[in-house]
Amino acid sequence: MNIKVFTAIFLAIFFWGFSFIWTNQILLEDIPVFTFIFFRMFIAGALLFVFSKVTGKLQKIEKGDYKFLFLMAFFEPFIYFIGETFGLKATNSPTLSALIIALIPIFAMLSGVIIYKEKVTWINVLGILATIPGILLMVLNTGDMTPEYWWGIALLFVAIFGSVGYSTTVRGLSKYNSFTIATYQFVFGAVLFLPCFLIFNGDYQIAGLLEWHILKPVLYLAVLCSCLSFVLYIFSIKSLGIARSSVFTSLIPAVSAIGAYLYGYETFTWEQILGILIVTLGVAITQK
């Protein structure tokens, strides 16, 4: 693996790990969920469109592919971010949320088996089974097991469904470069979130988003986690392939855990630390 690819994949993983921290910061300010998600999508889509257009990287879309691009955006960011953000809000745990989201490669693999008849080995199955006790150690070692908490976990699995749908759809769009796919992903994402923003914004004053302690994490999410990370990750996929790139995503919970601890959002028992390590190892094994 050359240094350029190595740097690209680790930067993407680092920013995605901290995305749970930055999202949690915004949620703690009681900003309507659909409000800040819409502005995240709008900023990311606008920046990618301008950059891709100016640099000549935005390819012309064949007429029959627009429906697939829209379906891709429906799965992710629309379904994915609804599940992830409301799930994080309900569980109030960036680390647990990242840990469950890290199961995406496993469900993507199962999707490949069901839809594309891909083969799995006994070591893939072993990796899947290994993640179960790790998840249980994290989920059950919390002091607040309310119904809302369990709904949050369910919503995080909705996010996984959205991501798997995205991966399945984007597989048929490989004729387009990463800038084109990412641009339409966030432009259509902004379009999908616009009605939700208009309906559910309520009495919140949009000017509040301009306060620096709120605007800063929104920009981090839009520029670093959406624009930059998706382009870097798609770039790494072209060199490493989907399976090998997915191995690195298993590091996201570890990054989130460190970030949450440093920000003072979470403390961990030894059972939870063990759970993080088990799930990380299990996800890595499934990609072997």
- pLDDT tens series, the chain, 288 aa: 578 888 888 899 999 999 999 999 999 999 999 999 999 999 999 999 999 999 999 999 999 999 999 999 999 999 999 999 999 999 989 988 998 988 887 887 777 778 767 677 788 778 777 787 888 887 777 656 788 999 999 999 999 999 888 878 887 888 898 899 999 999 999 999 999 999 999 889 999 999 999 999 999 999 999 999 988 887 787 777 666 676 677 788 888 988 988 888 888 888 888 888 888 887 777 766
Q: Specify the pTM.
A: 0.89
In degrees, rounded to 5, the angle at the alpha carbon of residue 174 between the alpha carbons of residues 168 and 178 is 105
**H or E stretch covering 156:** helix 147-170
Output the DSSP codes for 94-147: HHHHHHHHTTHHHHHHHHHHHHH-----HHHHHHHHHHHHHHHHHHHS-S---H
Look at residue 111 in the predicted model and tell me its pLDDT. Answer: 77
| CB of 35 closer than 8 Å to CB of 273 | no
